[in-house]
Amino acid sequence: MARNYAYFPGCTLRSHAQDYERQALAACGALGIELTELPDWNCCGATYPLNAENVMELIAPARILIDAGRYGGDLVTLCAVCFHVLRRSAHFLETHPFALERLNAFVLEAPTTGGPTRATCSKCCEMTSVGQRCAKR
Least Å from the CB of residue 35 to another protein: 20
Would you count residue 33 as binding another protein (CB under 8 A)?
Answer: no
Would you count residue 51 as binding another protein (CB under 8 A)?
Answer: yes
Where helices occur in the chain by DSSP H, the ranges are: 18-30, 59-70, 80-95, 97-106
Q: Are 56 and 87 in contact (CB under 8 A)?
A: no
Q: Which stretch binds another protein (CB under 8 A): 10-18, 97-105, 107-115, 123-131?
A: 10-18
Least Å from the CB of residue 122 to another protein: 17
CA distance 134 to 48: 22
Choice between 33 and 46, CB closer to another protein: 46
Would you count residue 117 as binding another protein (CB under 8 A)?
Answer: no
Burial environment of residue 26 by CB neighbours within 10 A (0 to 12, 13 to 18, 19 or more): exposed
